[in-house]
């Protein structure tokens, strides 16, 4: 058992110190990468078997890697804030009926912690962030020693999540391990191309204009990976309050840096962004909404933006065009909807 993986899984799901200690001490026999206390992986009795996931970004990965070997059900849907989401009775039924469960970890699904902990005693539960080296994680002061969970905003880090899914599905269903590995390689190839698109497109924004202001601090990994100065009105979790002092501080930043656009998010109220724009206007700054970004949730199911690749393609293209860079209005592969990219 990897002790660091055990400790991370427990802490990030808000276990008590006693449960954390017990989970790690009992680690012998628990498959690497599972939530501490998870039941053993018995393997599928039939195909397709059932997988449950939390957020859409994970759902997309798992569907890509599992292929036709499993039916994948996402719990937290389009436009829903995972920081505040509480599992419903139907969600619990879905989790209990599943053979394998994947979640993000790093405190993202804090309100679902109790449900995941209970279920982890009966079946395999995996954090897709398990393979990300601790040195690559951001740890903002406001998180009181915990890591920023929004790792999918750096495509190069999210590749590690794909590797976790392929590894654990291969262990759960070893007869099809090669299929999972093949599917993962295809998915990773798309992500590598997406990452390069982000690097190249954002690189066209004039350096003086690389300031990205959003509703909450979901884009810190995005900023680090693609060389943007990212500022959020609220903190990492949308539970935090945006005070007048913070809004005034950002207004000062807008005026000093000549910021031309700010961004709303699909899963976060626009109230604070509107207040920011009004405050900037009072100071004589002409700031517009540069577009709506996907932060903690993807676009509508069945659309390109409802996939992880489409989500990031949309974000990159929207930010680049709003901040004065050059990117095609229909994105990396010509698949983005025209609205919001003109």
Closest CA relative to residue 219, chosen from 241, 201, 240, 234: 234
The per-residue pLDDT of the chain, averaged, comes to 83
How high is the pLDDT of residue 235? 54
Between CA 242 and CA 230 the distance in angstroms is 16
**Is 39 in contact with 120 (CB distance < 8 Å)?**
yes
Q: Which helix (H) or strand (E) holds 95?
A: helix 89-97
pLDDT digits (tens, 9 = 90+) for 140-166: 876 667 899 999 999 999 999 999 999
CATH of 203-322, one of 3.40.50.720, 3.40.50.1980, 3.30.565.10, 3.20.20.80: 3.40.50.1980
User: Mean pLDDT over residues 277-289, rounded?
Assistant: 87
Q: Name the residue with higher pLDDT: 48 or 241.
A: 48
How high is the pLDDT of residue 275? 84
Long-range contacts of 336-340 (CB under 8 A, 24+ apart): 336/304, 336/305, 336/310, 337/303, 337/304, 337/305, 340/291, 340/292, 340/314
Return phi, psi of residue 214, to 5°: -130, 175
Q: Name the residue with higher pLDDT: 240 or 244.
A: 244
pTM for the predicted model, two decimal places: 0.84
Between CA 160 and CA 113 the distance in angstroms is 23
CA angle 102, 108, 109 (to 5 degrees): 65
Return phi, psi of residue 288, to 5°: -115, 165
User: Mean pLDDT over residues 305-328, rounded?
Assistant: 97
Q: Which helix (H) or strand (E) holds 293?
A: strand 288-293
Q: What residue ranges of the chain are covered by domains with CATH 3.40.50.1980?
A: 3-192, 203-322
Number of H helices, E strands in the chain: 11, 8
**Residue 177: strand, helix, or coil:** helix
How high is the pLDDT of residue 239? 47
- CB atoms near residue 131 (< 10 Å): 16
**Is 107 in contact with 55 (CB distance < 8 Å)?**
no
Give the full edge-to-edge strand order of the sheet including 100-103. Answer: 70-74, 49-53, 100-103, 125-127
Look at residue 1 and tell me whether its pLDDT is greater than 70.
Answer: no
How high is the pLDDT of residue 191? 98
How high is the pLDDT of residue 153? 97
User: Mean pLDDT over residues 112-127, rounded?
Assistant: 88
Helices of type H across 132-270: 155-172, 177-202, 220-226, 244-257
How high is the pLDDT of residue 299? 92
Between CA 73 and CA 94 the distance in angstroms is 8
| Partners of residue 170 on adjacent β-strands | none
Between CA 31 and CA 8 the distance in angstroms is 14
| Partners of residue 125 on adjacent β-strands | 101
Least confident of 122-131, 203-212, 252-261, 267-276: 267-276
Closest CA relative to residue 104, chosen from 228, 231, 226, 218: 218
| Burial class of residue 64 in the structure, from the number of CB atoms within 10 Å of its CB (0-12 exposed, 13-18 middle, 19+ buried) | buried
Please count the residues of the chain: 342
Contacts of 186 (CB under 8 A, 6+ apart): 64
How high is the pLDDT of residue 209? 93
How high is the pLDDT of residue 42? 65
Look at residue 16 and tell me whether its pLDDT is greater than 80.
Answer: no
Q: Name the residue with higher pLDDT: 129 or 267.
A: 129
Least confident of 22-36, 169-183, 274-288: 22-36
According to DSSP, residue 231 is labeled E
- The architecture in CATH of the region 3-192 reads 3-Layer(aba) Sandwich (3.40)
């Amino acid at each position: 058992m990897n002790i660091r993986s055990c400790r991370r899984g427990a802490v990030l799901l808000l276990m008590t110190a006693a449960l954390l200690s017990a989970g790690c001490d009992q680690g012998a026999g628990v498959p690497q990468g599972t939530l501490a206390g998870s039941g053993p992986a018995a393997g599928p009795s039939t195909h397709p078997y059932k997988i449950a996931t939390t957020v859409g970004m994970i759902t997309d990965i798992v569907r890509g890697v599992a292929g036709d070997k499993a039916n994948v059900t996402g719990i937290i849907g389009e436009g829903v804030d995972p920081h505040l989401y509480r599992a419903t009775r139907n969600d619990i039924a879905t989790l209990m009926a599943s053979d394998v469960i994947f979640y993000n970890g790093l405190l993202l699904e804090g309100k679902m912690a109790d449900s995941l902990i209970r279920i982890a005693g009966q079946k395999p539960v995996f954090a897709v962030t398990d393979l990300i080296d601790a040195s690559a994680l951001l740890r903002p002061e406001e998180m009181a020693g915990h890591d920023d969970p929004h790792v999918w905003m750096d495509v190069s880090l999210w590749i590690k999540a794909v590797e976790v899914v392929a590894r654990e599905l291969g262990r759960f269903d070893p007869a099809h391990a090669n299929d999972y590995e093949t599917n993962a390689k295809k998915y990773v190839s798309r992500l590598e191309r997406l990452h390069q698109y982000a690097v190249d497109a954002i690189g066209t924004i004039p350096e003086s204009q690389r300031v990205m202001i959003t509703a909450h601090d979901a884009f810190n990994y995005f900023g680090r990976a693609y060389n943007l100065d990212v500022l959020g009105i609220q903190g990492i979790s949308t539970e935090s309050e945006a005070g007048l002092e913070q809004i005034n501080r950002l207004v000062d930043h807008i005026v000093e840096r000549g910021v031309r656009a700010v961004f709303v998010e699909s899963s976060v109220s626009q109230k604070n962004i509107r207040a920011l724009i009004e405050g900037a206007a009072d100071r004589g700054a002409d700031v517009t909404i540069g577009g709506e970004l996907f932060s903690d949730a993807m676009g509508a199911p069945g659309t390109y933006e409802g996939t992880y690749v489409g989500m990031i393609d949309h974000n990159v293209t929207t930010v680049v065009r709003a901040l004065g860079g050059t990117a095609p209005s229909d994105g990396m592969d010509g698949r983005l909807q025209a609205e919001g990219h003109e």
